[in-house]
Amino acid sequence: MFDINQMTADAARSRGPQGMLAELDGWSVRKAEEMAREEGLTLTEAHWEVIHLLRENYRHHGLAPHARQLLGGLEERFGREGGRKYLYQLFPRGPISQGCKIAGLPLPPYSSDLSFGSVE
């Protein structure tokens, strides 16, 4: 028999709102590559550097209190490569929104605001 409640619960366990992985342990390189393909990206070493940095930051500090804080840290780290412009070349839908999604991480607050024409 079809059970909508079970189906909804199963979907919530695998991916949360906005397509993010609901369980961090469910992330893998293969899963990241699959999600990147869904986003129209082919992951390069440059992408992986950002993804691993996002995951390492989350592991050490937990969820950032604000997306701007996380973006500022990324801009500082990748300043020589071009900072924000470089990060948006890698992740056109946003280094925080798209980067966290592929990294299997929850979005920090204020990652997107659809009322202001966010790219999400």
Report pLDDT digits (tens) over 80-114.
999 999 999 999 999 999 999 999 999 999 887 55
Amino acid at 9: A
Q: How many residues does the chain have?
A: 120
Domain ranges of the chain: 48-105
Dihedral sign (CA 98, 103, 104, 105): negative
pTM: 0.74
